[in-house]
Amino acid sequence: MAKKKFLMDEDEMDAILDSDIAALDQGHSDQKILDIVRAGGQGLTAAQDFYEIPVDQIDPFSLKGASDFSRWSEEEVQDAVPAFRQYGGSFEPIIVRQKQGSHRFELIAGEQRLRVTRAAGAKTITARVIRNCSDSEALDIFALTNIQRRSTTISDQIYGWGLVVENHTNQGARSDLGAQDTLSAYIKGMQTSRSQVYRYLALRALVPELLPALDSGKLSIRAGEKVAALSPEHQRAIAPYIHLVSEATGAQLVALEKGGWDTDAAAEIITGRKKTRRQRYDSSMRTAMLHARKYVAGHFSEACYDDLSTIIVDALEAWLEQHPEMRKGR
């Protein structure tokens, strides 16, 4: 899913390229990620083979699944082309692996660099070819190189760490991060904390509609962690108020769900405003009519449609007969 991150003019792009050079000098590069993957026990070999590879022989990474990291828009790619030409190409080689039994390559890291290279009309790109790279190793490199990007979003972190954990959980490792040497090595190498990674993993339960609020800062990570503990239905119910949810009100919403969810009560917790009697009546009536329409459509034949008013009133009267204490005026 493409997410618009930032629009760049030439000055901004130059600044980014300058910071890329500084990052390389400090070791914050794809080579750093390869070192981290090795430290985690992955058996990478011959990772220093560099080649000029035709751009039309490089295929997208095949293991990312239905989701993806945020990508530059086409406008941002075009904005990067002048600076790319000025500096004579990409500073850091992309990472690929050769496809088995083929002369083609699979991209592992460097999608934006490859897109800019193609947009600039270049026929080849410098690539670091990792030989004997397993699917598990490729997935770790793909995830970690995207996690360490300067322009990464919170939703990128959620997706990336989720990939890494699922990758190693699927190999039979326990889901407890503290018991997994490989994941512990990655957390240390990426200079983050176990508690922060736990938060990212908890945030995977957020419905997709709420992720932009995290990325924009309208919803804090700690508040988002509370919201993620709610059912998807209840998360969507509070979506209009998500920019008002704090860690404290999020905890109250979790308690409300455990005790019996009420959307009006949830809105009152978030906004701090109680609805008037008329507002509660209107809200309840709208909900009741929606449920009634759905029930009638699923259970009543068209022959009953002319008598629906009588049927509904009779049903309501029968309910009041069973619950006389609820009759008005009692």
pLDDT tens per residue, range 157-176: 999 999 888 888 755 444 44
Task: Indicate if the pLDDT at residue 197 is higher than 50.
Answer: yes
The reported pLDDT for the residue numbered 216 is 93
Task: Indicate if the pLDDT at residue 25 is higher than 60.
Answer: no
Q: Which is nearest to 208 in space by CA: 5, 26, 58, 66? A: 66
Cα-only R_g, the chain: 27
Locus of tokens 């899913």: 1
**φ, ψ dihedrals at 52, nearest 5°:** -90, 115
8-17, 120-129, 245-254 — most confident range = 245-254
The reported pLDDT for the residue numbered 238 is 95
CA 44, 72, 207, 197: dihedral to nearest 10 degrees?
Answer: 40
Q: Which two tokens stand for residue 228?
A: 């993620």
15-19, 207-211, 309-313 — most confident range = 207-211
Give the span between the Cα atoms of 121 and 104, in whole angstroms: 20
- What are residue 107's DSSP bridge partners? 96
Give the span between the Cα atoms of 18 and 15, in whole angstroms: 5
Give the span between the Cα atoms of 200 and 190, in whole angstroms: 14
Alpha helix (H) residue ranges in the chain: 10-25, 30-39, 74-86, 111-119, 135-147, 154-169, 181-189, 194-202, 211-216, 221-228, 232-237, 247-259, 263-271, 277-299, 308-322
Specify the length of the chain in residues.
330
Higher pLDDT, 45 or 68: 68
Global confidence as pTM: 0.64
32-36, 50-54, 86-90, 103-107 — most confident range = 103-107
Q: Which is nearest to 149 in space by CA: 12, 14, 16, 13? A: 16
Q: Which residues, in sequence order, are CB contacts of 226 under 8 Å at separation 6+? A: 245, 247, 250, 251, 253, 254
Across 60-86, average pLDDT: 83
Amino acid sitting at position 74: E
Give the span between the Cα atoms of 227 and 235, in whole angstroms: 7
Counting Cα atoms < 13 Å in the Cβ hemisphere of 165 gives 21
Task: Indicate if the pLDDT at residue 275 is higher than 80.
Answer: no
Give the span between the Cα atoms of 39 and 315, in whole angstroms: 69
